Chain A
Amino acid sequence: MRWNRGEAILADATATANPSGGFWHRLANPARFQRLAGWLTPWLAAAAVGLFAAGLYFGLYASPIDYQQKDNVRIMYVHVPAAWLAMMSYSTLAIAGFVLLVWRHPLADVAGVAAAPVGAAFTFLALVTGAIWGQPTWGTWWVWDARLTSVLILFFLFLGYIALRNAFDEPERAAKAAAILGLVGAVNLPIIKFSVDWWNTLHQPASVTRLGTPAIDPAMLRPLMLMAGAYMCLFTVLVLVRMRLELTRRRIDALQSARAGAIE
């Protein structure tokens, strides 16, 4: 019963989509999306494995130690990309929310549902590896400064999105409420990004994404970028598989309620 209306939206959008129309309209057909995602997944998974292998080799072994932090700097290669992916995951929720509210694209809600737990995982990793890095570097696991607090809020936004998405019986309302939260929560993203410039903090400012040349040794930039690429591929694989999972679940629910209706 739960997904009846969701399926209806899905079928409706597919029917009204211009058959010769653009890429996004054709993607609105879940079967086409399933096929494309199914084709992409093994390639991206293989890329993730390769990038992880190279990233771990350079990150843990074939990269120089920092003159101050020594080997402790290696935590950067798992921490910084996790924080990037946390932001990217939330951007996905915000964009999905926008697309759902403006164009009512049926896959937007599916993408949000799929990306939220993956984003929560990456945010959790950014927080935990940050704490582990903070202890030997700053002498503390945690400070309530702007950067750390805003990332903690990001983590709660992911959990809130998941909870809100599951709080309604009516999937249409759940999708809309979650989309609004995803969109409104996006104000946190520039706060996280610029928190190190706007407020005093223990956290160091951006060294890779600043304008001009990155303030980081190329030998350290290499494992950082390899791990970022690995995280990105894994994120995409997980979101694509979770989108297919969500579509499969909706189909199961639709079939089950159709059966329940037939028996009555």
Chain B
Amino acid sequence: MTDGFFAMGGYAVYVWSSYGVVALVLIGVTLWTVLAFRRAKADLRALEAIAPRRRRRDTKESGHAQS
């Protein structure tokens, strides 16, 4: 039964290699996309954590100059 299933009536090489390459490429593209998005979100969070501090300092400096 399982022997027959995996043998694919003698076409095992063709059937399994086509399904294999599809799995490889689709899983690969999905992982690449998800990991890149996660990295970008982390980078943005890191940047945004720095940015407001600098902005606050900027307004303080300008306020100081005016007084």
- Which positions in A face B, CB cutoff 8 Å? 56, 60-61, 65, 70-72, 74-75, 78-79, 82, 117-118, 121, 124-125, 128-129, 132-133, 135-136, 234, 238, 241-242, 244-245, 248-249, 251-252, 255-256, 258-259, 262
Contacts and interface: CB of A to CB of B under 8 A. Distances in A.
Interface in B39-60: 40-41, 43-44, 47-48, 50-51, 54, 58
Given A74-B15, A132-B18, A255-B51, 15 more contacts: A60-B5, A70-B10, A71-B15, A72-B11, A74-B11, A118-B29, A125-B21, A125-B26, A238-B30, A244-B37, A249-B40, A252-B40, A258-B51, A259-B51, A262-B58
Contacts of A136: 11, 14
A60 B33 contact: no
8 contacts: A71-B9, A78-B19, A118-B29, A121-B26, A125-B26, A129-B21, A133-B14, A238-B33
A135 B11 CA distance: 11
Contact of A128 (B5, B21, B30): B21
A75 B33 contact: no
Given A72-B15, A262-B58, A82 B22 contact: yes
Contacts of B65: none
Interface of B: 5, 8-11, 14-15, 17-19, 21-22, 25-26, 29-30, 33-34, 36-37, 40-41, 43-44, 47-48, 50-51, 54, 58
Contacts of B48: 255
Nearest to A131: B18
Contacts of A255: 44, 47-48, 51
A132 B14 contact: yes
A65 B37 CA distance: 42
B30 to A, nearest CB: 7
Contacts of A238: 29-30, 33
Contacts of A259: 47, 50-51, 54
A135 B36 CA distance: 37
A201 B60 CA distance: 74
Given A125-B22, A128-B21, A129-B22, A74 B8 contact: yes
A234 to B, nearest CB: 6
Contacts of A117: 29
A132 to B, nearest CB: 5
Given A75-B14, A241-B34, A244-B37, A121 B44 contact: no
Given A129-B22, A248-B37, A251-B44, A65 B9 contact: yes
Contact of A75 (B15, B25, B54): B15
A118 B32 CA distance: 11
B56 to A, nearest CB: 13
